[in-house]
Amino acid sequence: MGHAETIPKKRQLVEAAAGLFHEQGVATTTLADIAAAAKVALGSVYYYFKSKDDLVCSVIDQRKDTIARLIARQETISDPRDRLGALVQVWVEDNDIDALYGCPVGSICFELARTRGPLSEQATRPFRLLLDWCEKQFRLLGAGDKSDRYALHIISALQGISLTAAVFGEAEMITKEAEHLQEWLQTI
C-alpha cells in the first residue's frame, strides 16, 4: 500500500469518528461503528490506531487543529474586539448543528474530562487554546487583570448556549445569546 493511500484512509477514519463521537458520544460509539461510517474494514481501524483511545486522541487533535485554524482566521482582523465578535459569530453560523448535538469541541471535551481518566488531560487542550487566545484579546482591549475572567465568561457563555440550545433543540437561542455577547463586547 502506497503512502498516498494511507493518509486519506486514516483521515477518513478520524472524520468518521469525530462525527459519530459528536452525534452519539465517545462511550457509545464502537470501532465497528466508525469503520462502517468510514466505509472501511474493521481491520483498517486497527491498522491505523492501536486502540479506541488512540483514535479519540486523534479526534481531539483534529478539534484542536480546527480551533487553531479558527483563531488564525480571526487574527486577520485588526481589532481585538472585532476578533472576539467574529468568534461569537462562528456559533451563530453553526447554530443548527449545535442545536442538535451541542458544540463539537465542547461535547467531546466534556465527556472525556468528566471521566478524569487518561484522556481527560488531553481533552482540556482545545479549551485551553481557546481560553488563552480570548484572554490575549481582552488584554489587548485593556481589560488587564479582568482578562482571564472575561475569557472564561465568553467561552462559558458560548458553550453553555450550545448545551442549552441542544437541550431545547432551538438554534435561535444561540443567535439571541450571540447578540447579547456582541453587545457586552462593546462595553469592554
What is the rounded CA–CA span in Å between residue 52 and residue 21?
12
> Is a pLDDT exceeding 70 seen at residue 153?
yes
What is the rounded CA–CA span in Å between residue 176 and residue 115?
32
Decide which of 3.10.20.30, 3.30.450.20, 1.10.10.60, 3.90.340.10 is the CATH code for 1-49. Answer: 1.10.10.60
pLDDT one-digit tens code per residue, 105-134: 888 888 888 876 778 888 888 999 999 999
> Is a pLDDT exceeding 70 seen at residue 11?
yes
Q: Where are the domains of the chain?
A: 1-49, 60-185
What proportion of the chain, given as a percentage, has pLDDT over 90? 80
Residue 6 pLDDT grade (very low, low, confident, very high; cuts 50, 70, 90): low
The closest alpha carbon to 188, from 70, 90, 84, 89, belongs to: 84
**HEC profile for 68-115?**
HHHHHHHCCCCCHHHHHHHHHHHHHHCHHHHHHHCCHHHHHHHHHHCC
Residue 126: CB atoms within 10 Å = 23
pTM over 0.75: yes
Q: For the chain, what is the mean pLDDT?
A: 92
pLDDT one-digit tens code per residue, 57-92: 999 999 999 999 999 999 999 999 999 999 999 999
* Residue 2, pLDDT score: 47
Alpha-carbon separation of residue 48 from 1, 10, 21, 111 (angstroms): 13, 6, 18, 24
* Count of CA atoms in the C-beta half-sphere (13 A) of 29: 24
* Residue 118, pLDDT score: 76
Residue 1 pLDDT grade (very low, low, confident, very high; cuts 50, 70, 90): very low
Alpha-carbon separation of residue 40 from 3, 21, 43, 95, 174 (angstroms): 17, 17, 8, 31, 36
Beta strand ranges found along 102-164 (DSSP E): none
What is the rounded CA–CA span in Å between residue 40 and residue 12?
9
Top-level class of domain 60-185: mainly alpha
Q: Residues 6 or more apart from 80 whose CB is under 8 A from it?
A: 136, 137, 138, 140, 141
> Is a pLDDT exceeding 70 seen at residue 55?
yes
Q: Which three cell numbers stand for residue 178?
A: 450571540
